[in-house]
Structure 1
Amino acid sequence: MKEVVLKADKLNKYFYEPTKFQVLKNISFEVKKGEFVSIVGKSGCGKSTLLYLLSTMDTDYEGTISMTGEKLTGKSKNDLAKFRNEHIGFVFQFHYLLPEFTVLQNVMIPALKLGKFSKKEIEEQALAKLALLGMEEHAHKLSSRLSGGQQQRVAIARALINNPTIIMGDEPTGNLDKKNTQNVFEILKNLSQTYHQTIIAVTHDTDFAQNSDRIIEMSDGEIINGESAK
């Protein structure tokens, strides 16, 4: 049996402006180590809100979230920030690289913040992550000099630098053309299959979702299907 790395239990979430509105309704599911999970649904169904809760960025909800067997609900913001930096890697629709920094410097930032290793060790780890994504030769270029597809690869390397429990993606291919979308998908699939990296991605891309391990389909704040994609 594979280890359960994420458990969401009876999550409910409300927005209060302009009037009270329930955006998530009794959401419960588990994700196992090495699973590649896509969360899909029409705009406004609550999928990005759910990812925001799972990532510990939003703590205003009912229910409980646990990761690696540790209950995260109720922890302080400082404790959550530390946990997040160590256990969650983020890949967004936009890469959010610092343009005045090199590729290598961008990848190193979360590890420097975590402070577990020396700068030299972090640099070596960052180069290894870039090599994994075929970007090592660009390590000393300014990130602003890369193409969109290359920048997203660097963003994935940055997400991997602390060897996170889970990579969470919010439309990670949303800004890319078809070829680069396929490249990024293949990278994520390889990370899941070869390195047993757990990945949870919100996506509008049907092909992306269909080729992941499992699709969690949402509608009006509820999970209506959580079956295998295959």
Structure 2
Amino acid sequence: MQQNVLKAEKLNKYFHEPDTTQILHDISLSIQEGEFVSIMGKSGCGKSTLLYLLSTLDTAYEGIVIINGVTVTGLNENAMARFRNEHIGFVFQFHFLLPEFTALENVMLPALKLRKLEYQEVEQRAMEKLKQMDMHEHAHKLSGKLSGGQQQRVAIARALINDPKIIMADEPTGNLDSANTTIIFNIFNQLAQEGNTIIAVTHDHDFARKSNRILEMADGRIKT
């Protein structure tokens, strides 16, 4: 039986500059283990804001977020950072790789920060993740020398290094051509089939319609 890996209850988000504006309105949702969920909506509807709340990157909100049975709302900064690094992998529109580091070194960084494994074990695991992305032959290349599609695959390998249950992606194919978009979708789809939960904000209708579920947003609300 599938279990909820993420639950949000009555999320409200406000921006206070220059005036107080409500961005999200009473959003409640649950996402199950192994689901591939796309969040869609017009620019400014609040979809990326919602993702940042669900991912614990933004903690200034009303409501409750529960991840893997842990109420993350209200955790102190250090506890939140450790929980995030251990349980959530991030893929953004821009890869945010360090160009002066190799692909392998970039993938290793989150695991080194977590400090659960020895350096050699982290290196071995990072190589395995690169192989999973078919990027192992480029492991020792500087990330700045890779193509856009290759860099995004390295970013996904980095997101997977700590074996998180949830991958959160914000426009992961926004800078890619159609061929690389298909590659990234297929990677996410395979990860979901292996039991990972994928939550992706996207403008790409073809990408979204092939996922398991679409949450469509408008004016800070999930449309029903």
Could you say which TM-score interval applies, normalised by the shorter chain?
Answer: over 0.9
State the AA in 2 paired with 1:201. A
Aligned residues: 224
Q: Work out the CA distance in 1 between the residues paired with 2:74 and 2:96.
A: 29
Q: Report how far residue 6 of structure 1 moved.
A: 0.2
Q: Work out the CA distance in 2 between the residues paired with 1:60 and 1:127.
A: 37
Q: Report how far residue 75 of structure 1 moved.
A: 0.8
Provide the TM-score with structure 2 as the length reference.
0.99
State the AA in 2 paired with 1:74. G
Q: Is the partner of 1:212 in helix, strand or coil? A: coil
In the other structure, the counterpart of 1:108 is 108
In the other structure, the counterpart of 1:155 is 155
In the other structure, the counterpart of 1:213 is 212
**1:1-230 correspondence to structure 2 within 5 Å:** 1-193=1-193, 195-225=194-224
Unaligned runs of 5+ in 1: 226-230
Q: Report how far residue 188 of structure 1 moved.
A: 0.6
Q: Report how far residue 23 of structure 1 moved.
A: 0.5
State the AA in 2 paired with 1:202. V
| Identity score, percent | 65
Q: Report how far residue 144 of structure 1 moved.
A: 1.1
Q: Work out the CA distance in 1 between the residues paired with 2:108 and 2:198.
A: 21
State the AA in 2 paired with 1:88. I
Unaligned runs of 5+ in 2: none
Q: Is the partner of 2:223 in helix, strand or coil? A: strand
Q: Work out the CA distance in 1 between the residues paired with 2:141 and 2:21.
A: 47
State the AA in 2 paired with 1:9. E
- Aligned-pair Cα RMSD in Å: 0.7
Provide the TM-score with structure 1 as the length reference.
0.96
Q: Report how far residue 19 of structure 1 moved.
A: 1.2
Q: Work out the CA distance in 1 between the residues paired with 2:85 and 2:91.
A: 13
Q: Is the partner of 1:116 in helix, strand or coil? A: coil
Q: Report how far residue 85 of structure 1 moved.
A: 0.5
Deviating above 3 A after TM superposition, structure 1's stretches of 4 or more consecutive aligned residues are none
Q: Work out the CA distance in 1 between the residues paired with 2:220 and 2:46.
A: 5
State the AA in 1 paired with 2:175. N
Q: 1:43-71: per-residue Cα shift (whole Å, max 9, x none)?
A: 00000000110111111111100000110
State the AA in 2 paired with 1:188. F
